[in-house]
Structure 1
Amino acid sequence: MNGTERAMLFAGLPGADLVSDGLADVAAGRETVAGELVKIGSPRLNDCGLSVIVDHEEALNADRRLYTLLGASHGNAAHSQYNALIRQLVSFERALEQRLARARRVRV
């Protein structure tokens, strides 16, 4: 999926900018908040047809790395930031799944 197709698919979805940034960060090998969040969501994102290439171990440890990054920038507020980011990711995943399901129904 190229950037234009992804932009069209993501248009209007909650957290789309964060996930787009995270996909780019993972592809470039950067350890960022957005990248670690995408690694956490990689199983579900891959099920939706997005290519998130991470090994199993890396995906399992992404939550700890995300929390560490948040702790460095948000201190005591890291926990609430972590929870807010996870909620954004889940909202994005659900909205994407619904959009894809609708698109499949239209094709049938």
Structure 2
Amino acid sequence: MSLNDLPGAEIILPGLNDLQSGESHTIGALLVAIAATRLTEAGLDIPRCHLALEPELTLYARLQNEREDAYQYYNALLNRLNSFCNALEINYKYQPSNN
């Protein structure tokens, strides 16, 4: 299974690219920072030197500045992140090399 096929990939994968480019405050990069431990444990290489220190607060503050529905959108983003992490963890767990 390709990472592009996982739910939430449209947000998370650009966030990984942002972090690799040194951008730590995009929505995707902040989501990756929130789940950096889970993503790393599931086999992704996360550039930790570019992670925001308080990604949850930073993301919410950014959304408050950009949207009237910040709370609902924040929760929707976290749900997408969780879906991506769950699918990645299942994929990683059942790879033949991990048995």
| Structure 2 match to 1:29 | 22
| Structure 1 match to 2:80 | 88
Which structure features the higher share of helix residues?
1
Would the aligned equivalents of 1:16 and 1:92 in 2 still touch at CA under 8 Å?
A: yes
Matched, 1:101 2:93: yes
Structure 1, gaps ≥5 residues long = 1-7
Structure 2, gaps ≥5 residues long = none
Matched, 1:65 2:58: yes
**TM superposition shift of 1:102:** 1.6
Matched, 1:17 2:10: yes
Higher alpha-carbon Rg:
1
Q: Percent identity of the aligned residues?
A: 32
- For residues 41 and 13 of structure 2, the distance between their equivalents in structure 1, rounded to whole angstroms, comes to 16
Q: Over aligned residues, Cα RMSD in angstroms?
A: 2.0
Would the aligned equivalents of 1:32 and 1:69 in 2 still touch at CA under 8 Å?
A: no
Taking a change above 3 Å as real, the CA distance of residues 11 and 25 of structure 1, as seen in their structure-2 partners, is: closer
**TM superposition shift of 1:18:** 0.9
Matched, 1:48 2:52: no
TM-score normalized by structure 1? 0.79
Q: What is the letter of the counterpart of residue 16 of structure 1? A: A
TM-score normalized by structure 2? 0.86
Q: What is the letter of the counterpart of residue 78 of structure 2? A: I
